[in-house]
Amino acid sequence: MKPLIVANWKMNPQSLDEVRRLFNSIKKGIKKIKNLEMVICPPFPYLLVIKLYSHKAIKLGAQDCFWEEKGAFTGEVSAVILKNIGCQYVIIGHSERRRYFQETDEIVNKKIRAALKIKLNPIFCIGETQTERDKGQTQAVLKKQLTLGLKDISKSQIEDVKFFIAYEPVWAIGTGNPCSVEEAMSAAIMIRKIITSLFSFSISKKIRIIYGGSINRKNSANYIKEAKMDGLLVGGASLEAKELISIIKSVS
Ligand code: PGA
């Protein structure tokens, strides 16, 4: 299976010119690369801009969505709107949303269900904080996030999309302190076991697990080749075309 590389630009860059430059450099850099799936998740206003610059190897993704389809929800963007403008992926439950916008597991669940309803591919983020890890709670945290996040979701809904779980330990995000290959592997094993107990072995095999947190050109290949993750969620490094292209080349 081709690895998935997700560029999460977060609230960057600040101008259209920078978006154009960054996108064009990425586009040039990945010209000959075929054996991976690339998704760019820019801030909402840039989604259509990137769509216009379009490149068949680069898919459009959003950083979040709202669970209602339409109506009086000032400031929100629904999964339906995203799908209708050409988005194929949506990040849901990122730790920054959980932390700064008080997103609970219940909210995350509503958003995942909204995405699944219209077959928008979810990238469902989970992961423990440093304190939780220190207390030996990693498995319990992952179990809670998965159980509540996937509540009332059927096997067939998962089978209908490309379903990604991003293991993103909070302590590794934006810190320059990535999780080790062994830690990523052991988290992936825990996640597969939990998914198997919630659904079935065949669903667990169908769900793809990617890693995110302080990815750079030096560590990227390890997660794919050694930890056998199905892809990477890249934050800071995805804002530098050279770095992102090196990451892509290291895993393709
Ligand atoms: P980072 O962010 O690569 O800057 O650590 C990853 C993420 O937040 O998805």
**Ligand 1 atom 6: residue of nearest CA:** 235
pLDDT at 31: 84
Residue type, 93: G
**Ligand 1 atom 9: residue of nearest CA:** 235
pLDDT at 249: 94
Please tell me the distance between residue 237's alpha carbon and the centre of ligand 1 in angstroms: 8
pLDDT at 56: 80
pLDDT less than 70: residues of the chain: none
Strands of 178-221 (E only): list them: 208-212
pLDDT at 52: 85
Q: What is the rounded CA–CA span in Å between residue 7 and residue 37?
A: 11
Catalytic residue among 94, 96, 103, 128: 94
All residues at 6 or more sequence positions from 30 whose CB lies less than 8 Å from its CB, including other chains: 38, 57, 58, 245, 248
pLDDT at 32: 81
168 carries an active-site annotation: yes
| DSSP notation for 56-121 | TTEEEEES--BSSSSSS-TT--BHHHHHHTT--EEEES-HHHHHHS---HHHHHHHHHHHHHTTPE
Please tell me the distance between residue 231's alpha carbon and the centre of ligand 1 in angstroms: 13
55 carries an active-site annotation: no
Ligand 1 pocket list (CB less than 6 A): 8, 168, 173-174, 212-215, 233-237
Give the number of residues written for the chain: 252
Q: What is the rounded CA–CA span in Å between residue 237 and residue 215?
A: 7
pTM, to two decimals: 0.97
Q: What is the rounded CA–CA span in Å between residue 143 and residue 232?
A: 21
pLDDT at 34: 82
pLDDT at 214: 97
pLDDT at 1: 81
Instruction: Kindly give the pairing relationship between strand 208-212 and strand 231-234.
Output: parallel
